[in-house]
Amino acid sequence: PAPPAAVEPPAPKEEEIFTAVEQNPEFPGGMSAFGKFLGKNIEYPAEATENNIAGKVILRFTVNKDGSIEDIKVLKGVGFGCDEEAVRVLKMTPRWTPGKQSGRAVRVSYSVPIVFSLPTD
């Protein structure tokens, strides 16, 4: 008889990225700490200041199981350098507390608003 055909194990599918989880990812210290981090690190783009540009940049990114972040995308931008600055500062954040589903850390797609408001004299 012919030898049995070799069965290829299924290729590992890329780890699922959740959009809704029992416990959302969190910046270390919570959203108030995130606000302080942004305030300390964001440099208002000169081009935005010169053009009186203010507004909210919304970023979406993946928080991995180890709390690292990747795949940052601008969902809503205001331009004039603000979008790039929001991405630059988000890349500087320390590891986040990962999101959890059924008690285990999972990859989560997460969004945050970053508000650019012109300094008042």
- 61-93 pLDDT, tens digit each: 999 999 999 999 999 999 999 999 999 999 999
76 contacts: CB under 8 Å, gap ≥ 6:
56, 57, 58
pLDDT of residue 62: 98
- 28-40 pLDDT, tens digit each: 999 999 999 999 9
For the chain, domain boundaries: 51-121
Residue 98: is it exposed, middle or buried by C-beta count within 10 angstroms (0-12/13-18/19+)?
A: buried
What is the CATH code for 51-121? 3.30.2420
Q: At what angle do helices 30-41 and 82-92 cross, to 10 degrees?
A: 120
Q: Please compute, for residue 24, the number of CA atoms within 13 A of its CA located in the half-sphere on the CB side.
A: 12
pLDDT of residue 120: 75
